[in-house]
Structure 1
């Protein structure tokens, strides 16, 4: 990767993190409730949904996770193995005592699955552009994991976050996988011709 692209991405990430952090506590709570309501139609009984535990100023999905489990969906969380870029997903357990940590992120021990066994993947992000290209933390875990999926096994990929994370364009690499949609307090932006529900 060329040095100017690396530098551009670093600057963009810094700017987007600052925007996300600037959202006040009360506004953040209201936005999270709005987004949870928009996500509810995506819950299907017995479906496998990959979510995430909020880290830093990421959108908190706790309410969505609780409701999805009550409605009979199975929730899975990213699990990172050392020196591996391809993600596993482990079953979410609200009362888990056997938690592990990787890069400061909570992970759950136990049964694991790959991304291609999910029907829906809710992806954290720093930014998303008008074509559905997302900017994450820079580890490449989601893109690497999705590279193992063919069209038939690729889950719906939904970015979730705040409206301030939308930008006109982001640097795109050959391995970047576009989102199917992005959900924020302003509504849903679709990037795929396929229905996300």
Structure 2
């Protein structure tokens, strides 16, 4: 496995997002056959202690090059954890976490539970990201979907854990906006780092 080196990161979010996506793609493309599955299984082990404490876990269906939380979530179902996934009713709506398996494609081409599934408020949310810094500042895809939902989830007491490949954890600081909700920790196959 080759970890790509990176030059000094740019300060603006658009450039930083582009560079972080390139690093993530290069990392995934460098993995030997079967290595990705092994790393995602290790992520499930890393998340095990947090999942044991969770009654309702919110996750996501991964986009290409995103690490998959699905092995971890599948393991959680064996302990009786209720699983929930983001669901959008249309392109303009804010997503809600709905309990159940992701069975139908949503408006953003990600699978989601059926829209008549019950809305839930997870006590643990596995948050996808493009990059994260040591303060828990998350750089997402840029559409603001999670930005609009994380504060409400935090109000309901959710523990917010970003998940990704180790190359997505930056030494540099990501510029934070007033609406950014810092995550509580970051999990990769290499371990779980808690920020607060």
**TM-score between both structures, scaled by the size of structure 1:** 0.82
Measured in 1, the distance between the counterparts of 2:101 and 2:79 equals 15
Deviation at 1:45, TM superposition (A): 7.4
RMSD, aligned CA: 2.1
TM-score (norm 2): 0.83
| Alignment pair present for 1:165 and 2:171 | no
- Residues 1:111 and 2:117 are matched in the alignment: yes
Instruction: Tell me the distance in 2 between the aligned counterparts of 1:165 and 1:34.
Output: 16
Match of 1:75 in 2: 83
The list of structure 1 runs, each at least 4 consecutive aligned residues, that deviate by more than 4 angstroms after superposition, is none
Q: Which residue of 1 aligns with 2:180?
A: 176
Deviation of the 1:150 alpha carbon: 6.3
Q: Hey, what's the Cα distance between the residues in 2 that align with 1:139 and 1:111?
A: 25
Equivalenced residue count is: 180
CA distance in 2, matches of 1:158, 1:149: 12
Matches for 1:38-77 after TM superposition, within 5 Å: 38-44=46-52, 47-77=55-85
Unaligned segments of structure 1, at least 5 residues: 1-6, 193-197
Indicate if the aligned counterparts of 2:87 and 2:95 stay in contact, CA closer than 8 A. Answer: yes
Instruction: For residue 129 of structure 1, report the CA deviation from its aligned partner.
Output: 0.5
Q: Which runs of 5+ in 2 are unaligned?
A: 1-10
Report the Cα distance in structure 2 between the residues aligned to 1:65 and 1:44, rounded to whole angstroms.
11
